[in-house]
């Protein structure tokens, strides 16, 4: 399989296999005119299998969304066809309008145009995100 | 020129340090002992009580507190009698009311509504209960009751019984008492009404205190210093059948009280439905009506503190 090299943009590497479409949607890549390649289930020594996304445009990446979906992603920054920087993510302290609170009792379910804010917390030794309003864990109700 | 103090709100009990809580309880004690000394401390100040949900004790004790401090009150007692019934947002309501009042106490059925309100308020905001989430001024009332009874808030075994999932007073009381060394929480509830995960997580993180769970009140009542009973919160259930199935899970009666220590006290944030038999009211260990009285004094202390009017 041959995918052209990109000139100015990003290669998102080490995406956990199966998460690339979620990232595609979270970053709004469907609205871009440039070349976007999604490569799924690439053999990986570290992960067994991984996904890769290539974006041939210098867009503003939502690092909080990326860090929330998969903090192990490596961001390779490409300029004039050359790798100029490798960025490693960490779980962001705060998420704003990345995920929605699913608690039907939360004020975010009724108040107009309120920011959906989640803060990093810990549960059973794991990183979790809790709604800044009702404290419900992201993804639960 | 006098430096302006930063605006303070009480949205959750963790907004107050342990030293601040102890100081408020001491101030409430001073007010109980010398009420005349505080009679005019809030002259020309106004408290707005915005109650989107029904309340007896909390709203009336806030209003009585402000009136006894020489201040005035305004507000609404139900969502239907405010512009919320026309669809006005909390954010807009707060931006309007802050122009009429010096301090606001708000009760709202949605969890986190006071967090949002505080983002817009330029006067002190007090959470008077948000859904099944938090109720910090009830906690101040509870702590005042316990402190006055035992002379300390440390080293006590506290049984929390009933609806620990939706019981907001329980959530706030746990958040407060985990900071007092030696507290032993005994959580007594049906499996379906265990506390939310974030509360259990906060207990697991604490090394100062101990926590055990029980599905039986009889099995643990003899170990308790405080038995804090709660009502199963009918208004928080989406399914009436679940409420009916769970509502009579724990009923405290005179038989059960025989198994309790002689110096245990029974507390309840009220209103009760049937979880404490009326016969228990005559037991010398029942404290829930005294507890409700303390609510006024601790709210007087809180209003003075948040308005920066402590003498």
Q: What is the pLDDT of residues A77-115, one digit of tens each?
A: 999 999 999 999 989 999 999 999 999 999 999 998 899
Same domain for B94 and B181, yes or no, is no
Of A77, A73, A55, nearest to A14 (Cα)? A73
B261 inside domain: yes
Contact B201 A135 (CB under 8 A): no
Same domain for B183 and B216, yes or no, is yes
Residues of B taking part in catalysis: 57-58, 86, 107, 135
Residues of B in contact with A110 (CB under 8 A): 110
Query: The domain containing residue B285 runs over which residues?
Result: 136-292
Q: What pLDDT is recorded for position B205? A: 85
On whether any CB of chain B is under 8 Å from the CB of A116, the answer is no
Q: What is the mean pLDDT of chain A?
A: 91
Overall number of domains in chain B: 2
Contact B201 A122 (CB under 8 A): yes
Q: What pLDDT is recorded for position A24? A: 94
Same domain for B187 and B226, yes or no, is yes
In the Cβ-directed half-sphere of B296, how many Cα atoms lie within 13 Å?
Answer: 18
B7 inside domain: no
Residues of A in contact with B196 (CB under 8 A): 135-136
Same domain for B114 and B170, yes or no, is no
d(CA B67, CA B46): 9
Asked whether residue A134 carries a pLDDT value surpassing 90, the answer given is: yes
Same domain for B106 and B199, yes or no, is no
Q: What pLDDT is recorded for position B96? A: 96
Facing residues of A55 across strands?
A10, A36
Contact A123 B197 (CB under 8 A): yes
Of B190, B12, B118, nearest to A130 (Cα)? B12
Residues of A in contact with B116 (CB under 8 A): 107, 111, 114, 133
Q: Of A26-40, A46-60, A127-141, B116-130, where does mean pLDDT reach its minimum?
A: A127-141
Same domain for B179 and B277, yes or no, is yes
Query: How distant is the Cα of B199 from the closest Cα of chain A, in angstroms?
Result: 10
On whether any CB of chain A is under 8 Å from the CB of B221, the answer is no
A73 contact partners, CB below 8 Å, separation of at least 6: A12, A13, A14, A15, A23, A66, A89
Q: Where are the domains of chain A?
A: 9-88, 94-131
On whether any CB of chain A is under 8 Å from the CB of B92, the answer is no
On whether any CB of chain A is under 8 Å from the CB of B293, the answer is no
d(CA B88, CA B225): 46
Same domain for B144 and B254, yes or no, is yes
B19 inside domain: yes
Same domain for B71 and B174, yes or no, is no
Same domain for B47 and B64, yes or no, is yes
> Cβ(A139)–Cβ(A126) under 8 Å?
no
Same domain for B274 and B149, yes or no, is yes
> Cβ(B128)–Cβ(B53) under 8 Å?
no
Contact B197 A121 (CB under 8 A): no
Q: pLDDT tens, position by position, for chain B (311 residues)?
A: 556 678 999 999 999 999 999 999 999 999 999 999 999 999 999 999 999 998 899 999 999 999 999 999 999 998 877 777 777 899 999 999 999 999 999 999 999 999 999 999 999 999 999 998 999 999 999 999 999 999 999 999 999 999 998 888 999 999 999 999 999 999 999 988 899 888 998 888 888 899 999 999 999 999 999 999 998 876 666 677 776 766 777 899 999 999 999 999 999 999 998 899 999 999 999 999 999 999 999 999 999 999 999 87
Residues of B in contact with A121 (CB under 8 A): 198, 201
B1 inside domain: no
Contact B116 A107 (CB under 8 A): yes
Specify whether domain A9-88 bears CATH 3.50.50.60.
no
d(CA B58, CA B78): 13
Residue with tokens 């005994």: B186
Cα B256 to chain centroid distance, Å, stands at: 26
**CATH number of B177's domain:** 3.40.50.1370
B265 inside domain: yes
Same domain for B287 and B159, yes or no, is yes
Helical H runs in chain B?
Answer: 18-33, 57-68, 90-97, 113-120, 136-150, 168-177, 197-205, 240-246, 254-257, 288-306
> Cβ(B187)–Cβ(B224) under 8 Å?
no
> Cβ(B18)–Cβ(B26) under 8 Å?
no
CA of A106: which chain B residue's CA is closest? B111
Cα B308 to chain centroid distance, Å, stands at: 22
B152 inside domain: yes
């Amino acid at each position: 399989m041959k995918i052209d090299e990109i000139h100015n943009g990003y290669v998102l590497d080490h995406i956990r296999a199966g998460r690339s479409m979620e990232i595609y949607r979270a970053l709004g890549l469907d609205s871009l005119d440039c070349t976007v390649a999604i490569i799924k289930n690439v053999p990986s020594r570290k992960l067994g299998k991984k996904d890769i996304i290539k974006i041939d445009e210098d867009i503003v990446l939502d690092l909080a969304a990326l860090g929330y979906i998969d903090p192990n992603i490596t961001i390779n920054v490409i300029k004039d066809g050359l790798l100029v920087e490798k960025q490693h993510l960490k779980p962001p302290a705060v998420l704003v309008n990345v995920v929605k609170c699913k608690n039907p009792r939360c004020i975010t379910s009724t108040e107009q145009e309120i920011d959906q804010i989640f803060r990093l917390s810990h549960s059973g030794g794991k990183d979790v995100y809790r709604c800044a309003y009702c404290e419900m864990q992201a993804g639960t109700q | 020129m006098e430096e302006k103090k930063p605006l303070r709100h009480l949205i959750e009990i963790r907004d107050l340090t342990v030293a601040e809580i102890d100081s408020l309880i001491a101030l409430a004690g001073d007010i109980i002992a010398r009420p005349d000394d505080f009679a005019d401390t809030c002259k020309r100040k106004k408290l707005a009580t915005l109650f989107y949900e029904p309340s007896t004790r909390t709203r009336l004790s806030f209003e009585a507190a402000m009136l006894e401090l020489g201040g005035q009150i305004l507000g609404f007692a139900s969502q239907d009698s405010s512009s919320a019934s026309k669809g006005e947002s909390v954010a807009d309501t707060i931006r309007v009311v802050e122009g009429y009042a010096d301090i606001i106490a708000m009760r709202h059925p949605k969890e986190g509504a006071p967090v949002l309100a505080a983002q817009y308020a330029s006067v002190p905001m007090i959470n008077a209960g948000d859904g099944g989430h938090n109720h910090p001024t009830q906690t101040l009332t509870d702590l005042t009751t316990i402190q006055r009874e035992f002379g300390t808030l440390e080293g006590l075994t506290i049984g929390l019984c009933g609806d620990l999932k939706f019981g907001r007073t329980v959530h706030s009381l746990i958040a407060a008492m985990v900071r007092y060394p030696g507290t032993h929480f005994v959580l007594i509830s049906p499996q379906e009404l265990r506390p939310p995960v974030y509360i259990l997580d906060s207990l697991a993180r604490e090394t100062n205190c101990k926590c055990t769970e029980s599905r039986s009140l009889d099995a643990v009542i003899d170990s308790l210093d405080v038995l804090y009973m709660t009502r199963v919160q009918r208004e928080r259930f989406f399914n009436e059948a679940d409420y009916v199935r769970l509502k009579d899970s724990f009923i405290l009666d005179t038989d059960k009280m025989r198994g309790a220590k002689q110096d245990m006290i029974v507390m309840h944030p009220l209103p009760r439905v049937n979880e404490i038999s009326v016969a228990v009211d005559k037991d010398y260990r029942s404290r829930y009506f005294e507890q409700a009285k303390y609510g006024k004094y601790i709210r007087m202390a809180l209003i003075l503190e948040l308005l920066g009017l402590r003498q």
